[in-house]
């Protein structure tokens, strides 16, 4: 059976169409990136564990507002084992420590900041989780495109192998050509098996992020982000500094240091202790009639004086902690600005590279060369080595385009993750509505 040029052209068009045309959805019940991010936030085991930090902080604020327990004091003194004259002294009473200078309220203020920090840490964990899901999602899509590319090459090389075998049987070429075609086909087949193994690992990693079994099948929506103009870099940096959870955590740590300082100043005065009790005494007077017991009401108060320990070290520690947090905020601002500027530049450069690769002239030319080489080999005008060289050139161009697309998707993911909560059109799955605004922003010079 003679294999014509038409079948080769169809196979080539099938191979190139996957790279020139947009990636579309091929399954009805597919999951897009936004849906995957929501599933991960709902089911991710590490995120669920992190959410318990809020409950822990809530329990601490409850404990911080509790008063010390009162003490019951019972005392008895008598001379039963000594002179046994009937003398005794008995008392019963209660003592209660009273926190002063608003110490309990200041402890609750510290605990409230801890709750805000825990909630900001959860938002930051969600931000990072969205980025991890996006990286895994796009990695699977790129692997699928590479598998599609290899399937097309396998189809073409299978036809080439059949042509070489027919020409060898017709004594038009040597056995070397037939064996070379078979070896090239086996090489591509092994490469496909390696990619298949890689895809299994990528699906397992994504399922782990989604909190599902690693063997759970995934049907993914293959829609990719559009190439859109980026907003102004300065505006993106300003928005990131406002919405990035790490900045909120840094400011909250500064607020916590201030609350700690107020608490340390309040703790200079220890609790005042007030006691209330009843005492009954009976004494023996030598040579006198028996005495009647005397009863008395005891009231006492203990006021510690901060003469030697005024909590100076603790106050100084909290002052330095506040200054340290301000320095960390300055460093974090610079790190965030640098990170966004770097990712922004990468996205811009890769957008330009993708637009150039999507022009289509290069791929039309290489497709034409492959067709001409295939037809020339059938007519005995060129060697099999030249055909394989042209096919590899085609494969290298396709691989270069996929590599550019992969790096672009990685850069987009890094930029959107770095922006934090920014509702940029380029990255809607990375955005969420803010649920807490507990931080007070200051300008650090």
- pLDDT digits over 137-160, tens only? 999 999 998 898 888 888 877 777
pLDDT value of position 194: 92
Say yes or no to pLDDT of 425 above 70: no
pLDDT value of position 11: 37
- Each residue's pLDDT tens digit, 24-44: 433 457 888 888 989 999 999
pLDDT value of position 85: 78
pLDDT value of position 291: 75
Q: How many residues does the chain have?
A: 445
Rounded CA separation 187/178 (Å): 14
282: confidence class by pLDDT, cuts 50, 70, 90: confident
If one compares 373 and 55, the residue with the highest pLDDT of the two is 55
Helix (H) or strand (E) holding 336: helix 312-357
If one compares 385 and 83, the residue with the highest pLDDT of the two is 83
385: confidence class by pLDDT, cuts 50, 70, 90: low
If one compares 330 and 286, the residue with the highest pLDDT of the two is 330
Find the mean pLDDT for residues 311-335: 95
For the chain, what is the mean pLDDT?
81
**Buried b vs exposed e over 166-192: b needs ≥16 C-beta within 10 Å?**
bbbeeeebeeebbebbeebbeebeeeb
What percent of the chain is modeled with pLDDT above 90? 41
Say yes or no to pLDDT of 316 above 60: yes
pLDDT value of position 437: 33
Are 51 and 246 a contacting pair, CB within 8 Å? no
pLDDT value of position 433: 46
- Strand 272-282: give its sheet, edge to edge: 71-78, 88-98, 272-282, 294-302
Instruction: Provide the residue ranges of all domains of the chain, joining segments of one domain with +.
Output: 5-66+99-270+306-430, 68-98+271-305
Single out the residue of 420, 28, 433 nearest to residue 242, CA to CA: 420
If one compares 293 and 284, the residue with the highest pLDDT of the two is 293
Say yes or no to pLDDT of 3 above 70: no
CA-to-CA dists, residue 333 to 121, 125, 347, angstroms: 17, 19, 21
Task: Find which of 172-176, 198-202, 362-366 is predicted with most confidence, using mean pLDDT.
Answer: 198-202
DSSP string, 24-36: ----SS-B-HHHH
Are 220 and 23 a contacting pair, CB within 8 Å? no
Instruction: Label residue 442 exposed, middle or buried (CB < 10 Å: 0-12, 13-18, 19+).
Output: exposed
pLDDT value of position 120: 93
22: confidence class by pLDDT, cuts 50, 70, 90: very low
Helix (H, G, I), strand (E, B) or coil at 272: strand
pLDDT value of position 246: 92
227: confidence class by pLDDT, cuts 50, 70, 90: confident
Say yes or no to pLDDT of 175 above 70: yes
Find the mean pLDDT for residues 71-100: 88
pLDDT value of position 431: 58
Task: Count other C-beta atoms under 10 Å from residue 75's C-beta.
Answer: 11
pLDDT value of position 71: 94
423: confidence class by pLDDT, cuts 50, 70, 90: low
250: confidence class by pLDDT, cuts 50, 70, 90: very high
Query: What kind of fold does domain 5-66+99-270+306-430 have according to CATH?
Result: Outer membrane efflux proteins (OEP) (1.20.1600)
432: confidence class by pLDDT, cuts 50, 70, 90: low
pLDDT value of position 178: 74
Residue 279 structure tokens:
């005492």
If one compares 326 and 2, the residue with the highest pLDDT of the two is 326
pLDDT value of position 287: 66
What percent of the chain is modeled with pLDDT above 70? 81
If one compares 377 and 222, the residue with the highest pLDDT of the two is 222
Find the mean pLDDT for residues 398-423: 85
Rounded CA separation 353/273 (Å): 76
- Each residue's pLDDT tens digit, 189-203: 898 899 999 999 999
Find the mean pLDDT for residues 78-107: 87
Find the mean pLDDT for residues 405-430: 79
Are 165 and 443 a contacting pair, CB within 8 Å? no
Q: Among 61-75, 89-103, 170-184, 333-347, which stretch is predicted with the lowest mean pLDDT?
A: 170-184
Find the mean pLDDT for residues 382-387: 70
If one compares 430 and 123, the residue with the highest pLDDT of the two is 123
Q: Among 184-188, 337-341, 414-418, 421-425, which stretch is predicted with the lowest mean pLDDT?
A: 421-425
């Amino acid at each position: 059976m003679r294999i014509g040029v038409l079948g080769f052209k169809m196979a080539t068009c099938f191979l190139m169409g996957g790279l020139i045309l947009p990636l579309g959805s091929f399954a009805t019940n597919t999951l897009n990136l936004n849906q995957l991010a929501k599933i991960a936030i709902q089911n991710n085991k590490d995120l669920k564990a992190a959410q318990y930090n809020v409950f822990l902080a809530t329990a601490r604020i409850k404990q911080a507002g509790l008063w010390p327990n009162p003490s019951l004091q019972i005392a008895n003194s008598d001379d039963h084992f000594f002179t046994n004259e009937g003398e005794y002294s008995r008392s019963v009473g209660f003592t209660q420590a009273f926190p002063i200078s608003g110490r309990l309220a200041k402890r609750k203020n510290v605990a409230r900041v801890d709750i805000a920090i825990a909630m900001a840490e959860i938002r930051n964990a969600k931000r990072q989780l969205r980025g991890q899901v996006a990286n895994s999602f796009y990695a699977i899509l790129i692997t699928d495109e590479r598998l599609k590319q290899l399937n097309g090459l396998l189809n073409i090389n299978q036809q080439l192998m059949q042509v070489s075998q027919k020409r060898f049987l017709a004594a038009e070429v040597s056995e070397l050509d037939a064996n070379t075609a078979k070896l090239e086909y086996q090489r591509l087949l092994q490469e496909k098996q390696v990619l298949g193994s890689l895809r299994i690992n990528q699906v397992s990693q994504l399922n782990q992020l989604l909190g599902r079994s690693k063997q759970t099948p995934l049907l993914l929506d293959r829609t990719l982000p559009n190439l859109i103009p980026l907003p102004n870099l300065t505006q993106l940096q300003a928005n990131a500094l406002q919405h990035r959870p790490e900045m909120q955590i840094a400011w909250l740590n500064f607020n916590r240091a201030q609350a700690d300082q107020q608490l340390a100043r309040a703790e200079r005065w220890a609790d005042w202790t007030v006691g209330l009790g009843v005492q009954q005494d009976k004494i023996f007077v030598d040579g006198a009639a028996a005495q009647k017991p005397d009863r008395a009401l005891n009231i006492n108060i203990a006021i510690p004086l901060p003469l030697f320990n005024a909590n100076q070290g603790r106050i100084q520690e909290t002052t330095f902690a506040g200054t340290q947090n301000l320095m960390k905020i300055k460093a974090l601002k610079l790190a965030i600005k640098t990170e966004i500027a770097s990712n922004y530049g990468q996205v811009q450069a890769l957008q330009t590279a993708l637009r150039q690769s999507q022009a289509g002239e290069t791929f039309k030319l290489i497709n034409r060369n492959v067709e001409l080489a295939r037809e020339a080999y059938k007519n005995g005008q060129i060697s099999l080595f030249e055909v394989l060289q042209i096919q590899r050139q085609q494969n290298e161009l396709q691989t270069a385009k996929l590599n550019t697309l992969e790096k672009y998707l990685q850069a987009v993911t890094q930029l959107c993750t770095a922006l934090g909560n920014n509702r940029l059109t380029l990255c809607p799955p990375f955005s969420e509505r803010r649920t807490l605004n507990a931080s007070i922003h200051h300008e650090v010079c």
